[in-house]
Amino acid sequence: MLKQLGELASKALDELNKVSGLKEIRTWQTRYLGKKSSLTQILRSLATLPAEERREIGARANEIKATFEIELARKKKTLEKAKIATLVKQEALDITLPGYSISPGRLHPTTQTVREICSVFGNMGFQVVEGPDVEWDYYNFEALNIPKSHPARDMFATLWVDFETENGDKPMLLRTHTSPAQIRVMERTPPPIRAVIPGRVYRYEATDATHEWMLYQIEGLAVDKHITMADLKGTLFEFTRRLFGDKRKVRFRCDYFPFVEPGVELAIDCTACDGAGCRLCGNTGWLEILGAGMVHPGVLRRVNIDPKTYTGFAFGMGVERISMLRYGIDDIRLFYSNDLRFLKQF
């Protein structure tokens, strides 16, 4: 019987060793420790044995039972650990996989250009201010030396606001340029003044590749003692270089704007052909960037600044035109047609 027990133990432990799944382990447990197992049978039959044998066999059988239980528990633990390890492996995130990229939103190209231009002037000591989009005729025209009868009014296709005074005047409009804000700044601020004024302007205009009924301008104004045309040239020369690069040539030519004297137009050599002549510059080699001039003494007088003591320069530019030149955009209507495919490129 002892020998039988010994064989049983080694066979059972051998099998347990080979067990590789939790299901199999249950079968093993029934087979070797269950009610019908040989070991249980032997333990049950102990009573029928002679006292001498009973002690010996009983001790051995109980020892084997204890060993089985210990080994079974150990095996169970090992298998459970292995199972957990497999599960963890299956469920785990593979952090070496590339993630989904989120494309960040961006600022509108006009906003970007406005900010860049304002920062260039900001670095030269100009303060950024704003004026209203809905203006009085007085600020948009009269105060800028453009009285009712003046032919320069034809330069601006005006959108009038449907508002009439008692005597039938229509004095309110959507500003056609940012120049009226110059007047507002000078009315409020005694010189020295250095200001740039970005904002929307409106024109009663049929749209095409180079015309929009709403666009952005940036106005500039400097008023101080001893300001001369040289300051105007130096400031704008520096501005164009900071925005378009050191290589650019700058050209000043006479132009007419009622609120400045003398008036100039500033051009840079064409960014596409470096001045050789191409489609972008209409074969002239030059691109017009802005209008400018020395603030007209009449304008200064109107805001109670004495033109004998103070002089100033002013300039105004279209923001979309500058974006178009810098990015090679050939249709101004793209800016406000809300096509995300266009806007995403900037």
* Interface residues toward ligand DAH, by CB under 6 A: 177, 179, 219, 257, 260, 291-293, 314-316
The alpha carbons of the chain give a radius of gyration, in whole angstroms, of: 45
Residue whose entry in the numeric block shows the structure tokens 């080979």: 18
CB closer to ligand DAH, 219 vs 269? 219
Q: Across the beta sheet with 250-255, what order do the strands follow?
A: 127-128, 193-202, 214-224, 311-318, 286-295, 260-269, 250-255
Q: Is residue 100 helix, strand or coil? A: coil
What is the residue type of 67? T
CB closer to ligand DAH, 39 vs 236? 236
Distance CA 222, CA 232 (A): 9
CB closer to ligand DAH, 60 vs 200? 200
CB closer to ligand DAH, 75 vs 321? 321
| Rounded least distance, CB 312 to ligand DAH, Å | 10
Which residues sit opposite 239 in a β-bridge? Answer: none
Distance CA 64, CA 162 (A): 107
Distance CA 255, CA 332 (A): 24
Nearby residues of 57 by Cβ (< 8 Å), 6 or more positions away: 1, 2, 5, 42, 46, 49
Distance CA 19, CA 22 (A): 8
Closest-by-Cβ residue to ligand DAH is 316
Sign of CA dihedral 125, 264, 290, 146: positive
| Rounded least distance, CB 293 to ligand DAH, Å | 4
Classify residue 190 by its DSSP letter.
P
Long-range contacts of 9-12 (CB under 8 A, 24+ apart): 9/64, 9/67, 9/68, 12/68
CB closer to ligand DAH, 145 vs 207? 145
Q: What angle do CA 122, 127, 132 make, to 5 degrees?
A: 125
| Rounded least distance, CB 152 to ligand DAH, Å | 10
CB closer to ligand DAH, 109 vs 180? 180
